[in-house]
Amino acid sequence: MKKNNKIVSNRALKVSEQLRQLISKILISDNFYLYNLSNSVITVTDVDISPDLKNAKIYIMSYPEKTYKNFVVLEELNKRSGYIKKIVSKQLKLRFVPKIKFFHDTSFEYSQNIDNILKKIK
């Protein structure tokens, strides 16, 4: 199977989907609270996992979308990535739990930009 022009194994696809679901549940749970992010809505949009399953890039979108706010969200989540990895390790049955790093998902802004360009052409 191909994902982002890379060939990805079925196992990597399954693990990335499990990670996406687990991290979404962690961010929703009452136990996980970020002081600076109490009024932000965070959505896990995609997980890109390395072929050896040791590194995972977690793509998120946060609302309200402000450049400064997105930077704060990413910074806070990356500070807490060790804690998130610890919670994931208890629920995910793998020999190695991937190192987690959060990134901002720009696909929505990109698609809006393309849509605006197409509207101008009409």
User: What tens digit of pLDDT does each residue of 30-39 get?
Assistant: 666 666 566 6
Q: Which of 85-89, 100-104, 107-111 shows the lowest per-residue confidence on average (mean pLDDT)? A: 107-111
pLDDT of residue 43 exceeding 90, the answer is no
Measured distance between the N- and C-terminal CA atoms of the chain, rounded to whole angstroms: 36
Domains of the chain listed by start with CATH number: 2-121 (3.30.300.20)
Whole-prediction pTM? 0.80
Q: How confident is the model at residue 69 (pLDDT cuts 50, 70, 90)?
A: low
Model confidence at 92: pLDDT above 80: yes
Q: Which amino acid is at 101?
A: K
Distances in Å between the Cα of 113 and the Cα atoms of 29, 45, 108, 117 are 33, 19, 9, 6
